[in-house]
Amino acid sequence: MNEHGMLLEWQDAIRPYISENDKVVLRQLNEFLKKERSMYNVFPPADKVYNALNLCPPSKVKVLIMGQDPYHERGQAMGLSFSVPKGVKIPPSLRNIYKEIQDEYGIDYPRSGDLTNLANQGVLLLNAVLTVREGEANSHKNKGWEILTSAVVKSLRDSKKPMVYMLWGSDAGRLVENDSSNPQLVLRTTHPSPLSANRGFLGCGHFRQCNEYLEKNNLEPIDWRNLK
């Protein structure tokens, strides 16, 4: 389950959701990753694979933004969904995320695509699959990562603590079931990619809705403006 160390707090949180059969698949995933890294460039670097979980332990999660898999071009993936390191060109999906935040809050367009500041505020920027082979999107899909990330989502869902799920696109949407007895806020719309952003994402109002919910539940809102 660990390439280069997942936070102990997360290991404890997801343990009840990992079956014995799941453990076998996760061991196979580790062997697969060792082989992949010996033959190809794999992103993000091994020490960044659990970046989202390690920057945002379960006790601090207020918002979950779910991505698909890491960026597959060199220098982009940093272990946070939709985020790229400072100095790297902002990818199209993140440009649309920024456009929506701009429209909701009237901010200047951010100069950096690094979303670490959001992670530090309690936004879990998690991909469904945590690694990818260079140049091949979805190349590590269905290798076992989904077991782990589904366990993360289930642990948060079962906690029933006040938090917000921002689920963009059908893949992310399938990870969280509708449950009227659960007080957590689930926001759904299309993916922010250029192919689908105009079919629901742009104009969704998710960032303001998120903060209204957090404030209503006596939690510090996310400073979406502070992205530079």
Question: With contact defined as beta carbons under 8 Å apart, do 99 and 215 qualify?
Answer: no
Q: Find where tokens 């007080």 sit.
A: 183
Q: Residue 158: left if φ>0, alpha if ψ -120 to 50, beta else—which one?
A: alpha
Q: How far apart are the first and last CA of the chain?
A: 33
For the chain, counts of helices (H) and of strands (E): 8, 6
Question: With contact defined as beta carbons under 8 Å apart, do 4 and 53 qualify?
Answer: no
Partners of 100 in the beta sheet? Answer: none
For residues 49 and 34, what is the distance between their CA atoms, to the nearest angstrom?
13
Check 12, 22, 47, 69 and give the catalytic one.
69
Residue 69 appears among annotated catalytic residues: yes
Q: Find where tokens 């697969």 sit.
A: 32
Q: Among 6, 93, 102, 108, which residue's Cα sits nearest to residue 57?
A: 6
Catalytic residue numbers, as ranges: 69
